[in-house]
């Protein structure tokens, strides 16, 4: 287990200091409320910087702008060239800090995307991601089409970003790690109906990489949805390093150690699973078997993914949550 570095106060030469904002759950119905919430996020970027002069990156949860209502009104959707993203860029420049932000992104061809952005301290978008696995049947968002991108973040750390329900699929963490991610940010907006300790056991597979789970909004209610806070930082062996509480707008901070991730990836024998996954049984055969023995992967590539019990699945659209059955076919 690596130390949290007392939130970066005892900074290691190779460490990266990350803050997770336990944001008060907003209720946004109008453009004016969207503008006000944008300003609130900007103010919290400043709070994060004042909170810790060593902080390299501040992370906001999914739904930080729009709350948990699942509204798709075009009037409150965002775009990369819109005023909300411009405000985020300006805040990162003003406070000399990297930021990870959430927007519900306007999509002229269909439902909005649930998108995440990592912006550097010069105001440049370094990572742009659209949620691959919306939380169906509750969420109406268009399935993402940008893959799982990775960027070089502050102090040279390789960052991946996945969003909330994405973390239920271990393939997401593996894809990010395969592309070089050393720290995976998992932003989320989970309400009280969900298991309060779910992030302890999701996607911890000794990939290895470390995770910063900005996994839940504040414990307070927006009048409809209750959220519990409790974000956390996990080391690459699954150890929880720092946890948040239930206080609204709390910023929890941890020093992550990508150098230890790099060391483990190179020197581990036992449980170096990201290497062993593609080199099966290398003790018996030189270099290990490098085939693909997984039926579901072959079927998915052919567009033939089908479960043995597929015909018996009862919930296959959003009608249980009040959404009309879709008519469009996904084009990719």
Catalytic one of 131, 139, 209, 234: 131
Q: What is the mean pLDDT of the chain?
A: 88
Domain made up of 5-276: CATH architecture: 4-Layer Sandwich (3.60)
The span from the CA of 8 to the CA of 156, in Å, is 16
Tens digit of each residue's pLDDT (9 = 90 or more) over 276-294:
999 999 999 999 999 999 9
Q: Is the dihedral of CA 220, 225, 230, 233 positive or negative?
A: negative
Reply yes or no on whether the pLDDT at 209 is more than 60: no
Catalytic one of 62, 139, 230, 250: 62
> How confident is residue 5, by pLDDT bands cut at 50, 70 and 90?
low
**Percent of the chain clearing pLDDT 90 (strictly above):** 75
| 84: annotated active-site residue | no
Collapsed DSSP state (helix, strand, coil) of residue 39: helix
Which residues fall within 8 angstroms of residue 33, CB to CB, at 6 or more apart? 26, 27, 76
Q: How far is CA 325 from CA 69, 306, 328, in A?
A: 19, 20, 10
Bond prior to 138 in cis (omega within 30° of 0): no
Give Cα 161 distance to the centre of its chain.
Answer: 4
CB–CB of 252/19 below 8 Å?
A: yes
Of the ranges 6-10, 34-38, 168-172, the best mean pLDDT one: 34-38
Catalytic one of 92, 100, 151, 164: 164
| 47: annotated active-site residue | no
DSSP-assigned letters across all residues of 74-116: GGG-B-TTSHHHHHHHHHHHHHT-EEEEEEEE--TTSSPEEEE
The pTM for the full model equals 0.90
| 164: annotated active-site residue | yes
What are the domain boundaries of the chain?
5-276
């Amino acid at each position: 287990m690596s130390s949290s570095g007392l939130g970066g106060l005892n900074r290691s030469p190779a460490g990266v200091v990350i803050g997770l904002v336990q944001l008060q759950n907003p209720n946004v119905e109008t453009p004016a409320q969207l503008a006000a919430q944008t300003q609130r996020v900007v103010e919290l970027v400043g709070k994060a910087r004042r909170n810790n002069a060593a902080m390299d990156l501040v992370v906001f949860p999914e739904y930080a702008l729009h709350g948990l209502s699942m509204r798709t009104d075009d009037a409150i959707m965002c775009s990369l060239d819109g005023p909300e993203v411009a405000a985020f860029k300006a805040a990162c420049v003003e406070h000399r800090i990297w930021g990870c932000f959430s927007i519900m992104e306007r999509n002229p061809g269909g439902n909005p995307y649930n998108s995440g952005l990592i912006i550097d301290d010069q105001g440049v978008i370094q990572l742009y991601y659209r949620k691959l696995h919306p939380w169906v049947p509750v969420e109406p968002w268009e399935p993402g089409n940008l893959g799982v991108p990775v960027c070089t973040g502050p102090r040279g750390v390789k960052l991946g970003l996945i969003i909330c329900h994405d973390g239920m699929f271990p393939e997401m963490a593996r894809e990010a790690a395969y592309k070089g991610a050393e720290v995976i940010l998992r932003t989320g907006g989970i309400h009280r109906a969900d298991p309060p300790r779910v992030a302890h056991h999701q996607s911890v597979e000794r990939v290895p990489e470390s995770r910063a789970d900005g996994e839940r909004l504040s414990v307070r209610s927006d009048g409809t949805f209750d959220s519990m806070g409790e974000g956390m930082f996990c080391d690459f062996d699954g150890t929880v390093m720092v946890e948040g509480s239930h206080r609204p707008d709390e910023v929890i901070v941890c020093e992550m150690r990508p150098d230890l991730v790099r060391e483990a990836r190179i020197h581990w024998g036992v449980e170096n699973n990201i290497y062993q996954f593609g080199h099966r049984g290398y003790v018996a055969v030189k270099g290990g078997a490098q085939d693909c023995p997984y039926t579901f992967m072959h079927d998915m590539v052919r567009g033939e993914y089908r479960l043995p019990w597929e015909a018996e699945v009862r919930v296959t659209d959003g009608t249980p949550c009040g959404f009309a059955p879709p008519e469009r076919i996904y084009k990719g």
